[in-house]
Amino acid sequence: MAKLNRFRGTVIEALFILWVFWCVGNYLWSFIYQYEDKIVPLLRIINRG
Amino acid sequence: MVELILFCALASAAWAIGRLTLRQFMGGKGIPGETSFSIAIGLGVFSILTLALGLMGILYTWVLYLVLGSSLLLIPFTVKRKWVATLSFSVFPKLVRGIRQAGLVYALIAAILIVELLSALAPPTDPDALSLHLLRAKYLLERHRIDFSTTNFQFQYPSFMVCLYTFGMGLYNDRVAQLIHLLTMIMALMGLHTFARRKGGKSLASITVLFFLFIPMVNYQASTGLVDVGLASYEILALIALLYWEETESNIWIFLSGTMTGFALGIKYSGLFAFVINISLILYVGFRKRLRRPFPQTGSTIFSYLTLYILPALCIPSFWYIKNLVMFSNPFYPLLSEVFSFLGLTPAYGPGYEWWNFLLKNQGSIERNIKNLLILPWIITMPAYRIPLNTGTVPIFYLTLLPGLLLVRNIPGWIKTIFAYCGAFLIIWFFFGLHIGRFIITPLALLSLPTAFSALKLIRGRKPLKITALSVIILSVVVSLGTLAYKKGDSALTGAGMFSDRQFLERTVRSFPAVQYILENSPNAKVIVFLDNQAEYYLGRKHLSFGAEDPSSYSFDYWYKMSPEAMKKRLKNTGVTHILVNEYSARNLWIPQMVTPEARKRFEIVIREKLEMAEKLRRIASRTVLSLQGVSLYEVGR
């Protein structure tokens, strides 16, 4: 029982950490995405090079 | 500098008045959060005094100074003995010790507050502040009395903050008004700090305050002449007072909470949200206590609790509501018109009302249904759905730590109460409020408490959790400071004296070069301003425009339907010499993302009409004086 509880605790913790980093990643991505028009040409130049 | 001195004088006078009143009611014992409640009450007294002076028609600078001076005389009575000693021997070392103990966090808080303070010293530029709150204060001071003119329906809102701004502007200038708004935020900060400290210690308190300051809307608004942070502050204090009531069972807290709600209702109609929720909270706590044991001490009943709360909450803002009831048969004019016509009262409406009502119904809202309500946390925080939060694309990072409470075993009762309050607030706002971020500062600010609680628990937890929590906090700090520098950098540098006011205004207010031209070259010009609120404020009396001078000019339709010849004749008859047109603002009228297609079409029509109007104005002008960045100044021919 104790083992099961500990396992459940770990799963919830892992889910929570995933949630936080997913949110933060989403935020950061949306921030970068604002500058799409500047980034995409830059990426193209890099790819060609 | 003068602004800062006057601000300190005003803050200490407010504190003295409030403290004397509080001591009168609550006895001399240490009251938690005494300073913040004192300042809140003191500001309230100043607002009511300004209203009284306005009704008597004596809103003159010397009268305001007299009021401030006589309230400063109260300070020695407040701190009676050893007041110098108290200040120098007790407060200062405490402050230093506090800073040394929680070092970095308090240093950050201080840095943010200094930026806010400096940017409050720069000239106001926020469009809403300039077209409504500060403009109204300016009109009141020009006329030396409260005006009951019906030409501008936006001037009929409850005006607690406008009265305070009138006081500040009357003393010196609009910077004092902005500092007053900052003071309301500081008082909420102190209230939250004391509360959090009592419940969870120093670290909880400091992190709560830091999170509070990270809310982008607070960050942006605190040093402007808007009113929303003031509203949120009073609502927060009202809830804190209720939580103290639940804890101490001393009924005076209910009365205090009612007083705070009264001031909130005097600031904005949306103070009603807090009013309704607080009443339900009182009912809940009252019933729960009765189930457990007979009513404490006095044997009060729920009825007496409610009376204690509702009486001050309704009496304090009553003037504004009764005025609207008498003038327009609708205390909530111009809102809730359907309800009051349903009741058999037919509200009167000013020109321009219809368009505004349309805007209100369609402005950037998400569809109000159960599905969207369920995913509301998502909608508020996620980029794809984000409700316009006055922030550009700045997220509220730290809120991601809130679900960390799932990992905490015993969540204290006060956190549950705060959750219930915020939930109820968000639901009411979702269905009845305007979907703009500034309307939910209160719940977001209150959520900083449970979030800080969760963050602390996580930091004390196992390593992965600790790293997660710390990285979110660090990222929040970086993003918030970045936003602050980006949003407030210019104004803070202006406040610090690095740029002149003129340079700042030239950069931020598009029509300022035209305004400057008029002020410098044609001081006797009578200007009519089209499509621009910021210019109205800075032109002062020299303009004839949307509003107060001439009722007919308020309506856009009135001018739109006229032929160019008739328009020219009318302008000449009113003595207008110049026309200022801000075509840029018409072109860039904000078409929100999520309005219905019909609304979008209507917006497009409005933009077209405005541009047609600009074209018509260009034709009747005899000479173009200035044309810069989409703003034109024309001379009307003789």
Interface membership of A5 toward B (CB under 8 Å): no
Alpha carbon distance B170, B176 (integer Å): 9
For residue A21, what pLDDT is reported? 87
For residue B393, what pLDDT is reported? 43
CA distance B210 to chain A (A): 19
Q: What value of ipTM does the predicted structure carry?
A: 0.78
Across B32-55, average pLDDT: 90
Identity of the highest mean pLDDT range in B50-54, B295-299, B387-391, B563-567: B50-54
pTM here is 0.90
- Is the distance from CB of B22 to CB of B37 less than 8 angstroms? yes
Interface membership of A10 toward B (CB under 8 Å): no
Percent of chain B with pLDDT over 70: 85
For residue B604, what pLDDT is reported? 80
For residue B149, what pLDDT is reported? 74
For residue B553, what pLDDT is reported? 47
For residue B611, what pLDDT is reported? 84
Across B585-609, average pLDDT: 72
Flag if A17 and B407 touch (Cβ within 8 Å): no
Residues B543-561 pLDDT 10s = 665 444 444 445 666 777 7
Residue in chain B lying closest to A32 (CA): B393
Q: Where is pLDDT greater, at B183 or A44?
A: B183
Flag if B472 and A13 touch (Cβ within 8 Å): no
The strand pair at B527-530 and B543-545 is best described as parallel
Among A10-19, B26-35, B202-211, B490-499, where is mean pLDDT lowest?
A: B26-35
| Residue B229 confidence class, pLDDT cut points 50, 70, 90 | very high
- Is the distance from CB of B535 to CB of B514 less than 8 angstroms? yes
Flag if B404 and A16 touch (Cβ within 8 Å): yes
Instruction: Say which of A12, A17, A27 has its CB closest to residue B464.
Output: A17
CA distance B440 to chain A (A): 20
For residue B279, what pLDDT is reported? 94
pLDDT above 50: residue B261: yes
For residue B337, what pLDDT is reported? 77
CA distance A47 to chain B (A): 29
Percent of chain B with pLDDT over 90: 24
Flag if B397 and A16 touch (Cβ within 8 Å): no
For residue B184, what pLDDT is reported? 94
Q: Which residues in chain B have Cβ-Cβ distances shorter than 8 Å to A36?
A: none
Residue B197 CB neighbour total at 10 angstroms: 18
Residue in chain B lying closest to A34 (CA): B393
CA distance B532 to chain A (A): 29
Residues B407-418 pLDDT 10s = 888 888 899 999
For residue B89, what pLDDT is reported? 54
Instruction: Say which of B383, B406, B475 has its CB closest to residue A26.
Output: B383
pLDDT above 50: residue B391: no
Q: Distances in Å between the alpha carbon of B354 and those of B153, B154, B334, B364, B600? A: 11, 13, 10, 18, 16
Interface membership of A12 toward B (CB under 8 Å): yes
Flag if B393 and A24 touch (Cβ within 8 Å): no
Residue in chain B lying closest to A30 (CA): B383
Residues B457-513 pLDDT 10s = 888 888 888 888 888 888 888 888 888 888 888 889 898 888 888 889 888 888 888
**B581 - beta bridge partners?**
B530, B632
User: What secondary structure does DSSP assign to B511-531, as a single string?
Assistant: THHHHHHHHHH-TT--EEEES
Across B272-280, average pLDDT: 94
The strand pair at B631-636 and B578-582 is best described as antiparallel
